[in-house]
Amino acid sequence: MSTIDQVIDEHSRYLVRIAYLYVKNWSTAEDIVQEVFVTYFQKSDQFRNEASLKTYLTKMTANRAKDYLRSWKHKKDVLFDTIFVSVKGAEEVVLEQEQLATLEKNLFQLPLKYREPLLLFYYDEQSIAEIANYLQLNENTVKTRLRRAKQQLKGFFEDEDEEVVKN
């Protein structure tokens, strides 16, 4: 069995990025991953090695992030950010690279049903079959959602290019 430090060192950066892709906030993503690790170590005896530890922790992270998105705390944070967006925005813009920020913005415009398979396929490098199993969907549905997600992303970038040309 791995030690706490080994598991955290090996998986924390990856899991924070996964959580961030759901919740769109770095500190919230870090909090979610901390909760995942605490839960895992409290209940590590329940891990049955049916999948890799990385897959298990990724699923826990995704589920915890989805729970957060349904929570009252998230709805309150969204309202607060909407009211006080000017206070928060400047620091984040400085820290993000322009291309990454553009990709993120476009990625988050996608509905979750398109964003999730796209992230699992390109970021988590899962196969269509693995994604279908994880999301409990038909493989053809996953392929369709991937195709539509890519089309929508392409459309977002084309629209932005047109606006740049106009200005």
Show me where the domains of the chain are located.
1-95, 97-167
34-63 pLDDT, tens digit each: 999 999 888 877 777 777 888 888 989 999
Q: Which residues 6+ apart lie within 8 Å of 102 measured at CB?
A: 157, 160
Whether pLDDT at 9 is above 70? yes
d(CA 4, CA 40): 10
Higher pLDDT, 91 or 68: 68
Q: Which residues 6+ apart lie within 8 Å of 143 measured at CB?
A: 128
Query: What does each C-alpha distance from 94 to 25, 76, 91, 166 come to in angstroms?
Result: 15, 25, 5, 25
Whether pLDDT at 66 is above 80? yes
Task: Give the number of other CB atoms < 10 A from CB of residue 26.
Answer: 14
What 25-30 contacts at long range (C-beta under 8 Å, 24+ apart), as own/partner pairs, is 25/77, 28/68, 28/77, 29/65
Mean pLDDT of the chain: 79
Q: Which amino acid is at 114?
A: Y
d(CA 98, CA 117): 24
- Which ranges of the chain would DSSP assign to H, the alpha helix? 4-23, 26-42, 53-70, 72-83, 85-95, 98-109, 112-118, 128-135, 139-166
- CATH number of the structural domain 97-167: 1.10.10.10
Kindly report the pTM of this predicted structure.
0.50
CATH 1.10.1740 is right for the domain spanning 1-95: yes
Whether pLDDT at 95 is above 80? no
Q: Which residues 6+ apart lie within 8 Å of 134 measured at CB?
A: 59, 120, 126
Q: Which of 136, 138, 144, 100 is nearest to 118 (CA)?
A: 144
